[in-house]
Amino acid sequence: EVIRSLMEHQVKVDDKDNIGFTALIHAAQHGFFDIVKILIENGADVNASNNDGYTALMASTKHGSIKIVKYLVEKGADINLQD
């Protein structure tokens, strides 16, 4: 509900926090599939990375979120990126 409200108010979905993580990277890292989906539907860059090149795909792979991994790849995440 909160995420949808933020999207309706045109929050910049690819803004980064102090360690360079986007909301998508955080959501993928914690296994929040519904939030990952909402962010991507609202224009989140599936290949956005932090300062070290760490992406949402890497985060979801590292933390075993297979459903998110499949969804990110389906939505164009680059499987060849390296951190």
- Split into its structural domains, the chain has a count of 1
Q: Indicate the pLDDT class of residue 15, thresholds 50, 70 and 90.
A: confident
Domain membership flag for residue 57: yes
Q: What is the pTM of this model?
A: 0.85
Tell me, rounded to whole angstroms, the distance of Cα 25 from its chain centroid: 4
Structural domain including 61 reads 2-74
Please, what is the average pLDDT of the chain?
A: 89
Q: What does the pLDDT read at residue 1?
A: 60
What are the angstrom distances between the C-alpha of 79 and each of 9, 10, 45, 58, 76? 32, 29, 14, 9, 9
Domain membership flag for residue 63: yes
Domain membership flag for residue 11: yes
Domain membership flag for residue 79: no
Domain membership flag for residue 81: no
Domain membership flag for residue 25: yes
CATH number (domain holding residue 53): 1.25.40.20
d(CA 22, CA 14): 6
Element at 35 (helix H, strand E): helix 33-41
Res. 28: pLDDT tops 80: yes
Domain membership flag for residue 83: no
* Distance in angstroms between the alpha carbons of the first and the last residue of the chain: 33
Q: Indicate the pLDDT class of residue 2, thresholds 50, 70 and 90.
A: low
